[in-house]
Amino acid sequence: MIRLICNLSELGAGTRGASLGYDAMLIASYKFNPKFFRKLKPEFIDHENHKLFEDVKTPVAKRLDGIYKVYMRMEAKMKEVMMDNDFPVVISGDHSNAGGTIAGIKSAFPNSRLGVIWIDAHADMHSPYTSPSGNVHGMPLSTALYEDNLDCKIVNVPAETSKLWDALKGEEQRLAYEDLIFMGVRDYEKPEEYLLIRHKVPNVTVKDYRNYGHDECIKRVMQRMEGCDKIYVSFDVDSMDPSISRGTGTPVPGGFKAEEVENIILSLIEDPRLCCFEITEVNPVLDNKGNAMAETAFQILNSVYTKLKAKFAK
């Protein structure tokens, strides 16, 4: 059974509004498929967004105490869903939540090798020791990779924050570098570039996709996933070009067209090892074209659900 999990925490973002992504997609569904959220009823993760109105206690990793609580809840929910042999489709607020999703997958399948396909404009491989902003939505992969990147340290992290960060990473690495691949990444800082080069993490760029074609790029991605037992696809809508709309927290020029990213995702989810699909960072507050980003995101979600439903019916 496909289950819709909504994690509307936006504590990790630098701008406000990602917690409204689900509501914006719900409004979009009235236009394209009014019955969608009746058929696929959401299960909500309790968030800590009230902390947005409180003083920041951990400026080098903002609101990390609240994010830790959300991580634990998400991990428990994901484990529950997967132990029931159900398939989670996740609508997320900001991308920091993906760390909790990955933790849940590994908690359910501790002995399985997890592959992660990260469709995003950003590498999201900072830590509190390297982040220039302290926004945790730039850190989720580092929690999964068990990475501090002290070689590129630019920030002194207080002991209390360091303890919380270590708790977020868990007791051991959840994701190996050799089981990670990026698609569409085009904006990252020096500390992230250091890790990309050091660990030879491949990135299928938008230019690659257009030069080499869809089939060749999907082949390249799946070759990277060759040794994995489970695959998780994380789709940040900022992987798409801002010409669609600016309805996401950190838009970057030069992204995928909507039809390109939809075709990519529909091809990736054909793999029988796929265990979770997540969509994140829809922010209607920032949308300069009405509700265009949520409408685009919903149409992709609707297509994904339709394909997954057909796939599991076989």
pLDDT tens-place string over residues 283-294: 999 999 999 999
d(CA 77, CA 102) in angstroms, rounded, equals 11
Alpha helices in the chain, H assignment, sequence order: 21-32, 36-39, 64-83, 98-108, 140-145, 159-169, 190-198, 206-212, 214-224, 258-268, 292-313
Please tell me the predicted confidence (pLDDT) of residue 313.
80
Provide DSSP, 249-264. SS--SS-B-HHHHHHH
Average pLDDT along the chain = 97
- The domain ranges of the chain are 2-313
- Average pLDDT (106-123) is 98
Please check the confidence at residue 314 and state whether its pLDDT lies above 90: no
Which residue in the block uniquely carries the two structure tokens 């270590």? 166
Q: Which CATH architecture has domain 2-313?
A: 3-Layer(aba) Sandwich (3.40)
Q: What is the mean pLDDT of residues 241-248?
A: 95
Query: What's the mean pLDDT in 246-257?
Result: 96
Is 90 exceeded by the pLDDT of residue 139? yes
Output the pLDDT for position 312. 86
